[in-house]
Chains A and B, each alone.
Chain A
Amino acid sequence: MKPDQSQKPPLSKWVDKLLGWLVAPHLREEVLGDIHERYARRVQRLGERKARLTYWREVLAYARPSFITRKPSPYSTPSYTDMLRNYLKIAFRNLIKQKGYSFINIAGLSVGMAVAMLIGLWIHHEYSYDKFLPDYQQLYQVRRNFNSNGDTLTFTTTSLKLADALRYQIPEVEQVAESDHMGSHGLKVGDKKIYLNGAQIGGDFLQMFQYPLVEGKASLALKDPYSIVLTESTAKALFGSENPMGKIVRFDNQNDLKVTGILKDLPTNSSLQFNYLVPFSYYEATVNNVRMDRSGSFGNNGYQIFVKLKPGASYAQVSNKIALIQHTERNNSNAMNSVVILQPLQNWHLYSTYQNGKETGGFIEYIRMFSVIGILVVLIACINFVNLTTARSARRAKEVGVRKSVGSQRQQLIGQFLIESFLLTVVAFLFSLLLMQILLPAFNSLTESQIAIPYTTAGFWMAVLGCLLITALLAGSLPAFYLSSFQPVKVLKGTMQVGKAASLPRKVLVVAQFSCSIALILSAIIVFKQIQHAKNRPTGYDVNRLLMTNMNLELSQNFTVLKDELIKNGIAEQVSQSSSPATDIWWHSDLDKWPGKNAGETVELGVILVAKDYFKTVGMTLAQGRDFSGENDTTSVIFNEAAIKRFRLPNPIGQLITWQGKPLRIVGVAKNALMQSPFTKADPTMFVCTSFPLNVLLYRISPRLTTQEALSKMTALFNTYNPSYAYSYQFADESYAAKFKQESLIGKLAGIFAGLAIFISCLGLFGLASFMAERRTKEIGVRKVLGASILNVWGLLSKEFVYLVGIAFLIATPVAYYLLSNWLQKYEYRTEMSWWIFALTGLGAMVVTLLTVSFQSIKAALLNPVKSLKME
C-alpha cells in the first residue's frame, strides 16, 4: 500500500495533544509541523513500518527544557511580593485606624480559637489514653456478658479458671495476666507506713503492659512471689533518696517483699492506675481462697483478666473461640455461664458503657459533643468577622473602586481581603495562645489532666496552620467575594448603596450565631439541672459524717475494742462493718431459689454482708420487718424494696429463699438506697448478717464534734489499735459526690463554653449596633428635630436586633429540645425539661441583647441633633 502525502502519523490525535500540551505555545506550530513532515518523508523513503519505529524517538526528542519552557509574558509582571507588601500595609493601617472593630474581631476570634484549641488539646489527651504502651493494639481486658433474665449485663469480674482456660486453650493468646481489684494495701518500711492502692497481678503483666521501668527487668520483676515493684513516687515515699532495689517492704503487715523493680510514675493518661505491683503468685500463696479459685468454678468471679494476643492475631479471629469458653468445661459446678468478650485497651477509656453486651459509647459521646461545641464557637467568632467586615464595606468601597480602575483584577482583590483576614486570624491566634497559657492551669485542674501546649511537636503546628487557614477562609471568603464585587463606576460616582446587598446574609448569620449560643446555653442549663436533680434525689441513707476505712487483719481483730472506744469516747455514734463501702456494691450474685421462681430464671442481685448495727450506721430505714438481731442472726436476710419487686414477693416477710445452697428467711425489707449510680434505679440488693470480719469499717462521727476534732481523736485511736497501718479513711459524702464527677465536669465545661459563645456573639452584636447607630446618625438627628423622644430612637435601633434574636430563639429551642431529650434518655432518673427553662433562657438572651444594643442606641439617641446634622 502506497502511503499518500497527507498520511496521518500513527496515534496522531493524542500524540499531537500530548505534544501540544508539552511544548510551549509559541513553538507548537513548527514542532508539530516538523514531526508530521519528517514522518511523511520517512514513510515515502523507508515505508510506513520503519517510519513508525522512528516516530516515537522523534516525539521524545522534544521532551527537553528548551521546548517545554514557556515564553515569558510580554506584559509587565510585578513580583508577587510587591503587592503582598502593599496588602499587608493596608491591612495593618486598617487594623490600627479602626481600633474598636479590630478589637471586637480579634477579641472574638482569639477567645473562640482559644476555646477550640483547648477543646482540641483536651480531646487529643483523651484519645491518647494508653497509647503510650508499645503493644496497646494487642492488649485486651476480659469482660463477660451475663444474662440476667433477658438483660445482658457486662462485668469485668471474671474467674481464675477463665484465666487458665484462655491461657491454655486459645493458641492466639500470647500472655494472660490475672489481677485482683487493685485495692489498697498497707506498705511499711521501718516506721514509714503508707496506705495506697496497687495491684496483685500476673507475672507476665509487665511484659504485656510495657510501662517503662527505671530499674529491674520486666521479665523478672514479678517472678518471685515475695517481690514488689514500686512506682518512683511510692519508692520515694518509702525509702527517700536511698536506692530501693533489693530492699524489703512489709506488705499488709504480713510478709516481707523484696523490691525487684522501679516503675516510672504512671502518666495521667493511663487507664490503669496503681502505685505498686505485687505478683499474683503472692496472692495465691497467701490467701487460701484464691488458690482454690484457680481449680474451682467459673462462677467465682472475683478477678480481672488482661490478655495480650499474638502479633497478627485480631479479636475478630478469636472472638468465636473464646465466647463460649466457659461452656466447654465439663463438671462446671456453677450453672451461670457467661459469654466471654474482650475489650481492646484502646477503647477502655472512651467506650466504657456496655448495653446488651455491646460497647455503646461512654466518654466518647462527650468528646463528640465538645468537638461540635469547639467548631460552633469558632464559627460564631467567624460570623462576627464576616458581619463587621461586610457592614463596614462602605469604608472600603472607594478603595476597591480605585484599585479596580487602576487595574486590579478581581482575583487580586479577593486575595487581598483573604490576606487581611489571614493576618487578623494570625494576630488573634497569638492572643489566643496567650489566653490559653493563662487558662490552662485552671482548665487542667478542672479536667484533672496535665495538658500542656505542645510547642515542640510538628503535628501541633501543622494542625494550627490548618485551622488558621480554614478559619481565615471561613471568616474572609464571604467579605472578600462581596467587597471585590463592587463596580468601580458606581462606587466612585457615589451612586451605590453599599451595605444593602449584604444585609440579608448578615441577618441570617446573626440568627445562626444566636441560635448556636442559645442552644449551647440551654444545653448547659439542662445538664446542670440534671446533675442537681440527681444530687437532690433522696439517697435512702445518710452520707453525712459517715466515714469508711478499709479493714485489715489487725483492725478486724481489734474491731470490738475499737468500736467500744469510739462510742464510749463520744467520737462515733454508730460503728459497723460491711462487705462493700456504703457508696458501692462490690458483690453481685444470684439466688438459687425463691418462692415463685420460673424455671431457668436468673437475677443479678447485689449482695452486701453486714455486721450488727449496719442499718443504724448507714442510716437506712426498714420499710417492713425487723433488723438483724445480732451477729449470730445468720439465717436471716433483708431485701431492699427493689429486690422484693424484682422477685415478685407480695408478702416477703417470713419467706424462705436459698442462696449459695443455704436457706435464708426474709426478716425485713429495707428502703431503697442509691449505693451505685445516682442516675439509675436502685439495684436489687440483699443484706446478709455475718460474724466474719468484713471489708469495710463504717462509722458515723458524732455531731457534737467538729470533723477536725473527731479526725485527730480517731487518728490517735486507730494508731493504738491498728498500729501497723497508716490511718486512712474516706468520707461517704465525698465518695458519693464523686459519682457526679463526669457529669459535673461536662456541666461546668458546657457552662463555660456556652458563656463564651454568648460573649462572642454579643461582641459581634455590639459592633453591628455601633455601626448601625453610626450610619443612621443623620436620620436620628432629623427624627429628633421633628420631635422623636429618646425612647422612640432607642426602640428604633434596638427593634431589629431583638427581632433577630427572637427568630434565633425560635430556631434554637426545638433543636436543643430534641438533642437534650436524646441525651436525657440515657439516664433512668432524669429531670424534666420544663417550659420555663426555655422561657427563661429566651428572656435572658433578649435581656443580654438589649443591654448590648442599648449602649449604642442610647448613645446615638442622646446625641445632640445640632451636632449630628452639622457634620461633614
Chain B
Amino acid sequence: MRRSDLGEFEEVVLLAVAALSPSAYSVVIAEELERETGNTVSTGAVHAALQRLEQKGYLTSLLGEATAERGGRRKRLFTVTPLGGRVLSEVRAVRNRLWDRIVPHTILKWS
C-alpha cells in the first residue's frame, strides 16, 4: 500500500469523515476542522480533498437530502471505505511507533 499519496490535509479530512460519520459532508467537515484547529478552512478546499480521497478509493459518497438553507440543493455525504480505514490505521500505527521511540527525556525538553 502506497503511503505517500495521503497528504496531511487529506489525512485530517479523512479522519474528520470517519469521526462525523454517517453525516459527513463538506460544510460540517470544514466547520469541524475550523473548530479543532482554529484556522479558517474553506469548504472548497475540503471538497477538493474529498474528491481526491474518493478518487483514491478511500471514500465513497452518495447524495443526501436537500435543505432550505442550501437553497433546495442536495448535499453529498461521504463515508470511509474499508481501504480508507486501513490506510488511516496504518498511518496511525506508523505515528505511534515513532512516538514510542521518542525518549521521554526529549519530550520533557520540549515542554
Contacts and interface: CB of A to CB of B under 8 A. Distances in A.
Contacts of A57: 40, 42
Contacts of B70: 32-34, 36-37, 40
3 cross-chain pairs, A with B, having the tightest CB-CB distances, nearest first? A61-B44, A33-B73, A33-B70
Interface stretch (A62-70, A475-483, A496-504): A62-70
Contacts of A34: 25-27, 43, 47, 70, 75
Contact of A58 (B31, B43, B48, B51): B43
B13 interface: no
Chain A interface residue bracket vs B = 20 to 34
Contacts of B42: 57-58, 61
Contacts of B63: 30
B71 A66 contact: no
Interface string A1-31: 0000110000000000000000000000111
Nearest to A9: B71
Contacts of A37: 27, 67, 69-70, 75
A38 interface: yes
B44 A6 contact: no
Contacts of A31: 44, 47
Chain B interface residue bracket vs A = 20 to 34
Most buried by A among B26, B44, B66: B44
A6 B68 contact: yes
B74 interface: yes
Contacts of B25: 34
Contact of B75 (A5, A30, A41, A54): A30
Interface in B4-21: none
A300 to B, nearest CB: 86
B45 interface: yes
B52 interface: yes
B80 interface: no
A375 interface: no
Nearest to A36: B71
Contact of A66 (B51, B68, B76): B51
A433 interface: no
Contacts, number: 72
A41 B44 contact: no
A60 B43 CA distance: 10
A36 B43 contact: no
A620 interface: no
A656 interface: no
Interface of B is mostly: helix
B17 to A, nearest CB: 15
A58 B71 CA distance: 17
A64 B74 contact: no
Nearest to B63: A30
Contacts of A32: 70-71, 73
Nearest to B75: A33
B76 A30 contact: yes
A41 B31 contact: yes
A417 to B, nearest CB: 43
B24 interface: no
Interface of B: 25-27, 30-31, 40, 42-45, 47-48, 51-52, 63, 66-71, 73-76
Contacts of A189: none
Nearest to B52: A66
A95 interface: no
A29 B74 contact: yes
Nearest to B43: A34
Contact of A35 (B43, B66, B68, B76): B43
A38 B30 contact: yes
B44 A33 contact: no
Contacts of A62: 44, 47
A5 B68 CA distance: 7
Contact of A61 (B31, B45, B52, B69): B45
Given A57-B42, A62-B47, 11 more contacts: A30-B26, A34-B27, A34-B70, A36-B69, A37-B27, A40-B69, A41-B31, A58-B43, A59-B44, A64-B44, A67-B47
29 contacts: A5-B69, A6-B69, A29-B73, A29-B74, A30-B63, A30-B74, A30-B75, A30-B76, A32-B70, A33-B66, A33-B70, A33-B74, A34-B25, A34-B47, A36-B69, A36-B70, A37-B27, A37-B69, A37-B75, A38-B30, A38-B43, A41-B31, A58-B43, A60-B44, A61-B45, A62-B47, A66-B48, A67-B44, A67-B48
B54 to A, nearest CB: 11
Contacts of B47: 30-31, 34, 62, 67
Contacts of B52: 66
A31 to B, nearest CB: 7
Contacts of B30: 38
Contacts of B51: 66
Contacts of A59: 44
B63 to A, nearest CB: 8
B50 to A, nearest CB: 10
A101 B25 CA distance: 67
Most buried by A among B45, B69, B75: B69
A58 B43 CA distance: 7
Contacts of A35: 43
Contacts of B73: 29-30, 32-33, 36
Interface string A41-63: 10000000000001001111110
A66 B43 CA distance: 14
Contacts of A67: 44, 47-48
B59 to A, nearest CB: 14
A54 to B, nearest CB: 7
A773 to B, nearest CB: 67
A673 to B, nearest CB: 93
A57 B45 CA distance: 11
Nearest to B55: A66
Contacts of B75: 30, 33-34, 37
Contacts of B26: 30, 34
A54 B40 CA distance: 9
A38 B31 CA distance: 9
B43 A61 contact: yes
Given A34-B27, A37-B75, A64 B48 contact: yes
Interface string A68-102: 00000000000000000000000000000000000
Contacts of B45: 61
A57 B42 CA distance: 7
Contacts of B69: 5-6, 36-37, 40-41
Contact of B71 (A33, A41, A60): A33
A39 B48 CA distance: 18
A396 B52 CA distance: 51
A6 B42 CA distance: 21
A60 B45 CA distance: 10
A60 B31 CA distance: 18
Contacts of B48: 61, 64, 66-67
A334 to B, nearest CB: 87
A31 B42 CA distance: 12
A41 B44 CA distance: 16
Interface string A321-360: 0000000000000000000000000000000000000000
B44 to A, nearest CB: 3
Contacts of B71: 32-33, 36
Contacts of A41: 27, 31, 69
B31 to A, nearest CB: 7
Most buried by B among A34, A58, A62, A66: A34
B65 to A, nearest CB: 11
Interface string A742-768: 000000000000000000000000000
A29 B71 CA distance: 10
A57 B67 CA distance: 23
A64 B49 CA distance: 12
